[in-house]
Chain A
Amino acid sequence: MNEPILELEGLTKVYPGGLKALDDVSLSIRPGEIFALLGPNGAGKTTLIGAVCGLVRPSSGRMVAFGHDLATDWRKARARIGLVPQELSTDMFEPVIRAVSYSRGLFGLAPDPARIEEILRSLSLWDKRDERIMALSGGMKRRVLIAKALAHEPDLLFLDEPTAGVDVELRKGMWAIIDQMRARGVTIILTTHYIEEAELMADRVGIINRGKLLMVDEKDAMMARLGRTEAHIALAAPLAVLPQALARFPVELEEGGTSLCYRGGDGTGKGKAEVAELTKALVAEGIDFTGIETRESSLEDIFVSLLGEGEVAA
């Protein structure tokens, strides 16, 4: 197992005024992974990124990146970290290529026009290199911010809500870009409140709410552990009681016995197989049915239920 690329221990941030944006957050990021930090607005995602990137001063806790303590040895660590902020903040009067070259220099690297060209081409910005950033569309401006963050060839890249307010097509383009970066071996931590994005891109998912990291797990493991299959079978004739032959399935009668509801499985497809078995059992018992509706619970359901638990706990 590779050493973690970033380790947070007991990270806490209390803003003046008492708002606890981060509450004892501990997290390890592995090299090469895409980690999605999922949470509603105001959950603490941006504060967490800000703390690692030097924009926010943590109240307590320890942060180690690439083996360097970020409190003392921050120069070496930050040289390898890139940040794409949520807001489209950049010098709008600058031409694209100059803005990107500046970022490389700011991080202490020698000019490398070939590398800058490669980055701009990979983000389809090469044709726009001499245009002022203010003249670009919103999607392109965001790509400029990514190019700026990649200019110093970081090993760890933070993408803060990379697809917030971006239309569907651009969002897909952004996912392709993230894939490209993963292929290059860049470790990516992305924050999002689009669950679909986390489901599609991430290797691991962390769920954060009210500054607390509620759960961190492999996306597939999380789905397996907390995922469910739900099937509704419309019966041709209502049943008064559940036949003994169906007792081995997690089913119950609903809607006055006209619908048989299955709730089971684990998010790995086991539920679907069991529903197939259930239908065979119904046929064997001579119970006629007129329709089947199945639904796999998504990361979204897991997310909502976890947040719900959090609310109760709070």
Chain B
Amino acid sequence: MIGWRSTWSIYKRELVRFLRTAFQSVLAPVLTTSLYFIVFGAAIGGRMPDLGGVDYGAFIIPGLLMLTLLGETTSNSSFGIYMPRFTGTIYELLSAPVGVAETLIGFVGAAATKSLILAAIILVTARLFVDYSIAHPLLAVVYIMLVAAAFSLFGFILGIWADNFEKLGIIPMLFLTPLTFLGGTFYSIDMLPEPWDTIALANPIVYLVSGLRWTFYGSSDVDIRISFAITLGFLAVCVAIIAYIFKTGWRLRA
């Protein structure tokens, strides 16, 4: 049985926390995305050929969206649970009649909502620089929601695992961002010489960027079904880890 009132309270509070820093939360991705479009879209993109029949400026939109989405979702979610642990306010959550379902839907739902808002902002910003259309808008929304949920869960695990601020920042900085850059954000895997094109397939982010690109333009490096399967698999693994954490109280209960 899920306590929906408890869930709603957590969700609402997390969104309010986001709105408290709304200016920074909105401005940063708008600025970053604009810079990428100026550099890669306008300056370099003009000299690049179409990729798979898609203008280079438009080609990089799904990748840029994924870049911001993964980073922001992970950090939002990890901070959401790390800060109460750090300040001690987690006592209230632990002492409440609230279980793993309420906590996850509340925290992860809020982090995912913030990500969707960011995605919308990025898409609107991109429209100012590049003309594009989305081939499968419904699938794109579903896919963005799936990725947002998966990485909110991932961030949640990170926030519980981390016992200092350094650890909190190290995973997004050392793994997520480089893997996203190398995951076909700015290029198609086809453009890589052997053996790098094969090696690139070991990068899980390739499947995410590729999946989103497919929903935008109907073609991509990897089959969309594989992208969906990998995203769902990652989501399931994260849920299982979190269920285990709550069952054992690891890093939550003394």
Interface residues of A, Cβ cutoff 8 Å to B: 15, 47, 50, 53-57, 74-76, 78-79, 81, 83, 85, 87, 89-93, 98, 102-103, 105-110, 148
Name the B residues within 8 Å of A57 (CB-CB): 249, 253-254
The answer to whether B6 and A54 have CB atoms under 8 Å apart is no
Name the A residues within 8 Å of B195 (CB-CB): none
CA distance A47 to B253 in the complex (A): 11
- Contact partner, B9, options A50, A56, A90, A106, Cβ 8 Å: A106
The answer to whether B254 and A50 have CB atoms under 8 Å apart is yes
Name the A residues within 8 Å of B171 (CB-CB): none
Name the A residues within 8 Å of B98 (CB-CB): 106
Name the A residues within 8 Å of B96 (CB-CB): 78, 106-108
CA distance A15 to B249 in the complex (A): 13
How far is the CB of A251 from the nearest CB of chain B, in Å?
53
The answer to whether B6 and A105 have CB atoms under 8 Å apart is yes
CA distance A76 to B3 in the complex (A): 11
Contact A76:B87 (CB < 8 A) given known A15-B254, A56-B253: no
- Contact partner, A91, options B9, B89, B99, B253, Cβ 8 Å: B89
The answer to whether B95 and A78 have CB atoms under 8 Å apart is yes
Q: Considering only CB atoms and an 8 Å cut-off, how many residues of chain B contact the other chain?
A: 26
The answer to whether B5 and A75 have CB atoms under 8 Å apart is no
The answer to whether A83 and B91 have CB atoms under 8 Å apart is yes
Encode contact with A along B222-246: 1 for CB under 8 Å, 0 otherwise.
Answer: 0000000000000000000000000
The answer to whether B94 and A55 have CB atoms under 8 Å apart is yes
Nearest-CB residue, chain A, relative to B83? A91
The answer to whether B97 and A76 have CB atoms under 8 Å apart is yes
Contact A85:B91 (CB < 8 A) given known A105-B9, A106-B10, A108-B6: yes
How far is the CB of B181 from the nearest CB of chain A, in Å?
34
| Interface presence of B194 (CB below 8 A) | no
How far is the CB of A186 from the nearest CB of chain B, in Å?
16
The 7 closest A-B pairs by CB, nearest first: A105-B9, A89-B88, A75-B97, A53-B95, A79-B97, A78-B97, A108-B3
Encode contact with A along B6-18: 1 for CB under 8 Å, 0 otherwise.
Answer: 1011101100100
- Contact partner, B5, options A50, A98, A109, Cβ 8 Å: A109
| Interface presence of B20 (CB below 8 A) | yes
| Interface presence of B201 (CB below 8 A) | no
CA distance A91 to B87 in the complex (A): 8
The answer to whether A53 and B94 have CB atoms under 8 Å apart is yes
CA distance A78 to B12 in the complex (A): 22
The answer to whether B99 and A55 have CB atoms under 8 Å apart is no
Name the B residues within 8 Å of A106 (CB-CB): 6, 9-10, 92-93, 96, 98
Name the B residues within 8 Å of A53 (CB-CB): 91, 94-95
List 19 interface pairs A-B (beta carbons < 8 Å), by A numbering. A53-B91, A54-B95, A55-B91, A55-B254, A56-B253, A56-B254, A57-B253, A75-B97, A75-B99, A78-B97, A81-B95, A91-B89, A93-B20, A106-B96, A106-B98, A108-B5, A108-B6, A108-B96, A110-B5
The answer to whether B88 and A105 have CB atoms under 8 Å apart is no
Nearest-CB residue, chain A, relative to B3? A108
Name the B residues within 8 Å of A56 (CB-CB): 253-254
CA distance A110 to B6 in the complex (A): 10
Nearest-CB residue, chain B, relative to A110? B5
CA distance A105 to B8 in the complex (A): 8
CA distance A69 to B130 in the complex (A): 61
Nearest-CB residue, chain A, relative to B252? A55
The answer to whether B89 and A108 have CB atoms under 8 Å apart is no
Contact A89:B89 (CB < 8 A) given known A53-B94, A54-B253: yes
CA distance A266 to B94 in the complex (A): 45
How far is the CB of B69 from the nearest CB of chain A, in Å?
26
Nearest-CB residue, chain A, relative to B86? A89
Nearest-CB residue, chain A, relative to B248? A57
Nearest-CB residue, chain B, relative to A105? B9
Name the A residues within 8 Å of B254 (CB-CB): 15, 47, 50, 55-57
Name the B residues within 8 Å of A105 (CB-CB): 5-6, 8-9, 12
